[in-house]
Amino acid sequence: MTAGMSQTQRRRISRRLIGAVAVTMAWGVGFVGVAPSAAAADVQSQQWYLEPMHAEEMWKKATGEGIKVAVIDTGVNPSTPSLKGQVLEGLDATGAEGDETDDYNGHGTTMAELIAGTGQGGGLKGLAPGAKIIPMRVADGDWKPEDRVNAYDTVDAIRAAADSDAQIISMSFGNEFKLEQEIEAVKYAQSKGKLFFAAVGNEAQKGNKPIYPAAYPEVVGVGATDSQGTVSDTSQHGNFVDIAAPGDDVPFWCDQKFERYCQGNGGTSAATAITSAAAALIWSAHPEWTANQVLNVLFDTAGRGDWEKGTLSNYLGHGIIRPAVNILKGKGDPGDPDVSPLTQEKTAGSTASPAASAPASSQPDEKKQADDAAMAGSSTEKAEDDSQLGLILGGVAVVVVLAGAAFVIARKRRTA
């Protein structure tokens, strides 16, 4: 998108629920008929990532209490059993009928539950059940309200999130076009000390174009993995991926009446919510830290096998999130509070000196394919160290290793 574009043009190339393009389609033609719906009583058993991430152990030390997460999405229903008492006042940026609590397809409510759901009533259990949600409703390209929709709703939502009490912004929305007003809103959010996560998209096999806001330098682009620690086939890849998290086969609300969950591919949308929750856990354990320090620890503790630190994957960025390494072991270098680990530049309003540039990494091999990027394998780390605090599946700590020889998929430093 470009500034000055008409609302009609903008709607044609409208934002998609990136990270949930496949999910949205599935609501109409797929998962309800193909995969059995997940009854509320057993939906938590389908959250396969909680046990290997040592969630129960982490919750004894940190739950995300004191942290607020702004969820920019389709709205958040505060009346589901898992979200009762968890949702604060937010903003409806659409300009259409209803407000931020009127979720028009269930996606935003799913994201909120993955972040801060209490699990009451057998609903989804958030990775940070002590956190609170500030909903910011925006419109996706498939929603057709009777009222006209604000053409700059994402811009308004980002700015409102920046001005809110939220420390973290989680956005599973985006599109393939830059918008100057959105760029300025993202920079404004950074200047306000917010930690901004966005999904990189689920169209790796359908063009794999950069998605915004995930591809902006100030935003943490989140990729998705499956239960084997392998990058999802649909997770988009490129120099805009900063980190990865579980995303495949995550339950979601599959009807607008909020009566049942379905099992499906949450993709990078779910991964973004789960990463936002991981950040909330770390921040609640270290409330004196800045957004830069929380993110630096997420990067520093990410599972990356035997990659050389400073080498970044176009598929998994710094690696797969492992908040337990910090929460349970106290590890992870918070670094300079005033320097962004994304750009290695001093953040707005800070007084610290800029940090040195990140370690140089090898040049990307553009011919590499996703199936060469990352696979699950046996840990090469010592049994007594952090390898036991990551995603442990089938008795093996999930690490990221190459299918072939040397790791050569790297990332250049990004510019706007």
Instruction: Please state the pTM of the whole predicted model.
Output: 0.81
Q: Point out the catalytic residue in the list 82, 92, 102, 107.
A: 107
- pLDDT the model gives residue 386: 52
384 has pLDDT over 70:
no
> How far, in Å, CA of 123 to CA of 103, rounded?
17
> How far, in Å, CA of 27 to CA of 34, rounded?
11
Q: What is the DSSP track for 3-61? A: TT--HHHHHHT--B-TT-HHHHHHHHHSHHHHSPEE-GGGGGGG-TTTTTTTHHHHHTT
219-262 pLDDT, tens digit each: 999 999 999 999 999 999 999 999 999 999 999 998 778 999 99
Range 190-194 average pLDDT: 97
Q: Point out the catalytic residue in the list 54, 73, 92, 276.
A: 73
Q: Greater confidence, 72 or 97?
A: 72
Q: Greater confidence, 280 or 33?
A: 280
Q: Tell me, yes or no, if 237 is annotated catalytic.
A: no
Q: Tell me, yes or no, if 378 is annotated catalytic.
A: no
- pLDDT the model gives residue 255: 77
- How does residue 333 score in pLDDT terms, banded at 50, 70 and 90? very high
DSSP 370: G
Tokens encoding 332: 């992870």
- pLDDT the model gives residue 148: 82
Q: Point out the catalytic residue in the list 82, 164, 232, 269.
A: 269
Cα 287 to its chain centre, rounded Å, is 21
- pLDDT the model gives residue 389: 53
24-34 pLDDT, tens digit each: 222 222 222 22
**Domain 12-327 falls in which CATH fold?**
Rossmann fold (3.40.50)
Q: Where are the domains of the chain?
A: 12-327
- Which whole-number Å values give the CA distances from 152 to 60, 129, 163, 218, in the listed order? 42, 31, 17, 19
DSSP 215: T
Q: Tell me, yes or no, if 164 is annotated catalytic.
A: no
- pLDDT the model gives residue 96: 92
